[in-house]
Chain A
Amino acid sequence: MELRFSEAERAFRQEVRDFIAKELPKETRERMLAGKSPTKQMVVDWQRKLNARGWAVPEWPREWGGPDWTLGMRYIFREELQMAPAPQPLAFNTNMCGPVIAEFGTEEQKKRFLPRMANLDDWWCQGFSEPGAGSDLAGLKTRAVKQGDHYIVNGQKTWTTLAQHADWIFLLVRTDPNAKKQEGISFLLCDMKTPGITVRPIITIEGGHEVNEVFFDDVKVPVENLVGEENKGWDCAKFLLGNERFGQARVGASRERIRRLKAIASTESMDGGRPLMEDPDFARKVTEIEVELKALEMTVMRVIATESKRKDKKPDPATSVLKIKGTEIQQMCSELLMKAAGPYAWVDGDPEAEGSNDIDVAPDWAFGLAGVYFNWRKQSIYGGSNEIQRNIMAKAFLGL
């Protein structure tokens, strides 16, 4: 039993840290420190730097540019990005669609799409959810009918994150309406500039524009953009959803938030003339989160250690803990940060605005903290809601 990272992995951590310190633009870091999403340009520039270093696609096979890291190194890499904080390589490209194409795609598809995905020459978005198909994803209705060498796509996707930036969308569509739910679904790649596609913003509760509705009206998708076999798209979907088993824990992101929280609550906020961290009630809440995060970090290590050895692709029971605890902890961090700001958390600024503080009322550090709290309620909803996670645990691990 060796519960620590290896010497080589610790050296790798330093290498990543040094690279980030040298290469991450100050504006990107500051915007993210303030709890805002990086702009499109920031994400693109950063991913190109990572790609030039050979670090943009940790999960990909070596022949398509993957760096052949151990799971421990992948974890360290993500954790360092989160703690910086720096943008992650765009998940839709590097964690979702890329690995599906690498696993199920044709040689032509790999050559055509993978290098551009890695370099973020194309921004991809995920067209899975529909108004009638959320948790029950296989209930999706968007239709694709083959006509000659095209599929004609009609229907609606929703909650499509950052579709407003996207050049391409990967879609789950129904190709056989008569088959059983999961068996009539196909996985298609679609150029967002194709006629018949309409993108409409959905504004989330904090005022941000991160999700969209995407409408398909007789959209022609060439048949060569089918990934895997027709009606076998559910295999791609399952592969995609099962891919990032420890990514959802986001231990580094929570640690970064707690550091920030403690800095703010130790200096800036004053209750009865004393820093908020000296309030036993508040300090205790922070401490409880720190303990849960430590336990989660160890759980992640366990998952990494067992996954690297596992021959079958069955996840460790501990993996189920990651999504539930990881999101609960992040949500709690965002709530405590908001509380630390007191009344100045209430300023309703524009989360899209450049700079950190477009309405110069609240101190910079307090600005937008309530917005992040509101926005982060999403974490227990998407990626398989926490209730769905409990269903999976009850069925797959407990046999209930």
Chain B
Amino acid sequence: MDFDLTEEQRLLQDSVARLLTDKYGFEQRKAYMKSAEGWSRDIWAQYAELGLLGLPFAEDEGGFGGSHVETMLVAEQLGKALALEPWIPTVVIGGGFLRHGAEAGLRAELVPQIAGGELMLAFAHTERQSRYDLNDVATAAKKDGSGWVISGRKGMVIHGDSAGKLVVTARTAGGQRDAKGIGVFLVDASHSGVNRRGYRTVDGQRAAEVELSNVPAEAVLGNPEDGLALVDQVVDETIVALAAEAVGCMQVAHDMTIDYMKTRKQFDRPIGSFQALQHRAADMLVQLEQARSMSYFAAMGVEERDPLERRKNMASVKVQIGRSARFVGQQSIQLHGGIAMTMEYAVGHYFKRLTVNDAMFGDADYWVRYLANAGGLVTAA
């Protein structure tokens, strides 16, 4: 066992941290959020320079050859800065579909564009009725000659408004909730049959409602009749990034709270001298450390070969991260008092990001239910 980073990993972590410390202060972030796109093209170009946009792709395809540990390291830093750019949708989710589902020719075409910062991707999966069930897909794909044509509505497509291409799930066979018969398709987002309505989410990110009317697929990712396993794989890998992002957010919320407790005086002393608050802060630290442990476990557990075991690992990650995020987020507000309620104070933004992070691809309650049904982690004696 060894939790030390390699020299290259440390360099990667440091360079991301340096960039974000310089360019992602609270006021700077506010400016990015207010811009038309809601994030910074300039920062995006610098991610490309640092190699973050090609991170998980093979080196001979123009990528950086990073493992899940690298994904975790970068995502944690982005979480600390509450970065607004479409890194997870493009690199982790979109990149995951390309790595696991695309043919080499398609990758050869797209990976350099992604790594260079020219192409953004988004995952158009969720529908009005589906909530967190990955198998609930009503959007339809119909065979059209040798290709597919897609029609339907997708909602809460994170960064769907800026994406150049969409990874769309659509039903090729079976009923709306059948596990079989789901295909994954790559779609040109600027096609005339794609209608996008962008908006801001509570945590400052961008999302879009996407309507597809007879949109031809540019490519099929994986098996069009049986793509759910591919979706599961990519979502599981995305959970590595989400967990790390949450840990980054929790770390900052916790640190800010401790600092505030040392400086804020009431009753003629720092509020950090009150034992009730000290114990709460200690409990926050317990939750943070347990979350960090599960973030490491995510990077390890996602490599499990058996898909069911892998899914159970990632479910347990979502449960712990979600529970910890809720506690650390809520208490960082409470321990600050009124000041944390203001838009001008950063800690509330971490709380909001943590709240949305928990719910991405299913919140802790959803996954605890799943895990219980799947028999849990420990086998009966």
Please report A residues at the B interface, Cβ cutoff 8 Å: 1-6, 72, 255-256, 258-260, 262-263, 266, 280, 283-284, 286-288, 290-296, 298-299, 301-302, 304-306, 309, 317-318, 320-321, 324-325, 387, 389-391, 393-394, 397-400
CA distance A4 to B296 in the complex (A): 11
> Can you show 29 pairs from A to B with CB atoms below 8 A apart?
A1-B2, A2-B2, A3-B296, A255-B378, A258-B378, A259-B379, A262-B378, A262-B379, A284-B372, A287-B371, A287-B372, A288-B319, A290-B316, A290-B377, A292-B320, A293-B377, A295-B294, A298-B297, A299-B290, A302-B292, A305-B1, A324-B286, A389-B282, A390-B279, A390-B282, A393-B282, A398-B281, A400-B258, A400-B277
Q: A299-B290, A398-B281 are in contact. Are A3 and B379 (CB under 8 A)?
A: no
CA distance A293 to B316 in the complex (A): 10
CA distance A292 to B5 in the complex (A): 25
CA distance A65 to B2 in the complex (A): 28
> Do residues A294 and B381 form an inter-chain contact, with CB atoms below 8 A?
no
Interface residues in B255-305 by Cβ distance below 8 A to A read 258, 261-262, 272-273, 275, 277-279, 281-283, 285-286, 289-294, 296-297, 299-300
User: Separation in Å of the A254 CB from the closest CB of chain B?
Assistant: 9
User: Separation in Å of the B2 CB from the closest CB of chain A?
Assistant: 4
Contacts of A260 in B (CB 8 A): 381
Contact of B381 among A263, A288, A301, A304 (CB under 8 A): A263
Instruction: Give B1-27 as 1s and 0s: 1 = Cβ < 8 Å from A's Cβ atoms.
Output: 111111001000000000000000000
Contact of B293 among A255, A295, A390, A394 (CB under 8 A): A295
> Do residues B3 and A295 form an inter-chain contact, with CB atoms below 8 A?
no
* Closest CB pairs A-B (n = 5): A298-B293, A259-B381, A394-B278, A262-B380, A390-B282
CA distance A394 to B294 in the complex (A): 23
Contacts of A304 in B (CB 8 A): 1
> Do residues B282 and A283 form an inter-chain contact, with CB atoms below 8 A?
no
Contacts of A3 in B (CB 8 A): 1-3, 296-297, 299-300
> Do residues A280 and B372 form an inter-chain contact, with CB atoms below 8 A?
yes
User: Separation in Å of the A242 CB from the closest CB of chain B?
Assistant: 18
Contacts of B69 in A (CB 8 A): 1
Contacts of B373 in A (CB 8 A): 283
B: number of interface residues (CB 8 Å): 46
Contacts of B41 in A (CB 8 A): none
User: Separation in Å of the A272 CB from the closest CB of chain B?
Assistant: 17
Q: A390-B283, A400-B272 are in contact. Are A1 and B9 (CB under 8 A)?
A: yes
Q: Does chain A have a CB within 8 A of B362? A: no
Q: Which of A291, A294, A309, A390 has the most CB of B within 10 A?
A: A291
Contacts of A317 in B (CB 8 A): 285, 289
If over half of A's interface residues share one DSSP class (helix, strand or loop), that class is named, otherwise mixed; here it is: helix
Question: Which of chain B's residues has its CB closest to A304's CB?
Answer: B1
User: Separation in Å of the B1 CB from the closest CB of chain A?
Assistant: 5
User: Separation in Å of the A387 CB from the closest CB of chain B?
Assistant: 7
Please report B residues at the A interface, Cβ cutoff 8 Å: 1-6, 9, 69, 258, 261-262, 272-273, 275, 277-279, 281-283, 285-286, 289-294, 296-297, 299-300, 316, 319-320, 368-369, 371-373, 376-381
> Do residues A284 and B369 form an inter-chain contact, with CB atoms below 8 A?
yes
Contact of B368 among A262, A287, A302 (CB under 8 A): A287
CA distance A77 to B292 in the complex (A): 25
CA distance A173 to B282 in the complex (A): 32
Contacts of A283 in B (CB 8 A): 372-373, 376
20 further A-B pairs in the complex, CB-CB below 8 A; given A295-B320, A299-B289: A3-B3, A258-B378, A259-B381, A262-B378, A263-B381, A284-B368, A286-B372, A287-B368, A288-B368, A290-B316, A290-B378, A301-B1, A317-B289, A387-B279, A391-B278, A393-B281, A393-B285, A393-B286, A400-B277, A400-B278
CA distance A296 to B316 in the complex (A): 12
> Do residues B294 and A294 form an inter-chain contact, with CB atoms below 8 A?
yes
CA distance A248 to B379 in the complex (A): 23
Question: Which of chain A's residues has its CB closest to B255's CB?
Answer: A398
CA distance A286 to B369 in the complex (A): 11
> Do residues B286 and A321 form an inter-chain contact, with CB atoms below 8 A?
yes
User: Separation in Å of the A147 CB from the closest CB of chain B?
Assistant: 43
Q: A259-B378, A290-B316 are in contact. Are A400 and B1 (CB under 8 A)?
A: no
Contacts of B291 in A (CB 8 A): 295
Contacts of B292 in A (CB 8 A): 302
CA distance A325 to B282 in the complex (A): 12
User: Separation in Å of the A5 CB from the closest CB of chain B?
Assistant: 6
Contacts of B2 in A (CB 8 A): 1-3, 305
Contacts of A4 in B (CB 8 A): 1, 300
Question: Which of chain A's residues has its CB closest to B295's CB?
Answer: A298
> Do residues B372 and A394 form an inter-chain contact, with CB atoms below 8 A?
no
> Do residues B289 and A321 form an inter-chain contact, with CB atoms below 8 A?
yes
CA distance A256 to B279 in the complex (A): 30
Contacts of A262 in B (CB 8 A): 376, 378-381
Contacts of A295 in B (CB 8 A): 290-291, 293-294, 297, 320
User: Separation in Å of the A276 CB from the closest CB of chain B?
Assistant: 12
Contacts of B296 in A (CB 8 A): 1, 3, 298, 302
CA distance A274 to B320 in the complex (A): 29
User: Separation in Å of the A277 CB from the closest CB of chain B?
Assistant: 8
User: Separation in Å of the A268 CB from the closest CB of chain B?
Assistant: 11
Contact of B281 among A287, A288, A387, A400 (CB under 8 A): A400
CA distance A394 to B279 in the complex (A): 7
CA distance A291 to B318 in the complex (A): 10
CA distance A309 to B262 in the complex (A): 31
CA distance A286 to B316 in the complex (A): 12
Question: Which of chain A's residues has its CB closest to B277's CB?
Answer: A400
Question: Which of chain A's residues has its CB closest to B70's CB?
Answer: A1
Contacts of B9 in A (CB 8 A): 1
